[in-house]
Amino acid sequence: MIFRQPLIHGTLIKRYKRFLTDIKLDSGEIVTAHCTNSGSMKSCIEIGAEVYISTVDDLKRKTRYTWEMIRINNSWVGINTLLPNVLAYEALKNNKIQGLTGYTTVKREVKFNDSRFDIYCESETEKCFIEVKNVTMKEGSYALFPDAVTTRGLKHLHTLIQAKKEGFRVVMLYIVQRTDVEIFSTAKSIDPDYAKGLIEAKYNGVEIIAMQAEVNPGKIVLKKQLPVEV
Tally of structural domains, the chain: 2
pLDDT band, residue 58 (cuts 50/70/90): confident
Are 113 and 192 part of one and the same domain?
Answer: yes
Longest CA span, the chain: 57
In a domain, 1, yes or no: no
The rounded distance, in Å, linking the Cα atoms of 47 and 41 is 13
178-224 pLDDT tens trace: 999 999 999 999 999 999 999 999 999 999 999 999 999 999 999 99
CATH code assigned at 102: 3.40.1350.60
d(CA 185, CA 219) in angstroms, rounded, equals 26
Q: What is the pLDDT of residue 113?
A: 86
- Residue 22 and residue 224: Cα distance in Å, rounded? 33
What pLDDT does 184 receive? 98
Q: CA angle 37-112-224, nearest 5°?
A: 50
Task: Indicate the residue among 25, 44, 78 that finishes a domain.
Answer: 78
207 and 148 together in one domain = yes
Three-state DSSP state, 78? strand
Q: How confident is the model at residue 59 (pLDDT cuts 50, 70, 90)?
A: confident
What is the pLDDT at residue 48?
96
Residue 3 placed within a domain: no
pLDDT at 55: 94
How confident is the model at residue 60, as a pLDDT? 78
For position 21, which CATH number holds? 2.40.50.580
Q: Which range marks the domain in which residue 66 is found? A: 8-78
pLDDT (average), residues 117-139:
96
Residue 114 — very low, low, confident or very high, per pLDDT cuts 50/70/90? confident
Kindly tell me if the per-residue pLDDT of 173 is higher than 80.
Answer: yes
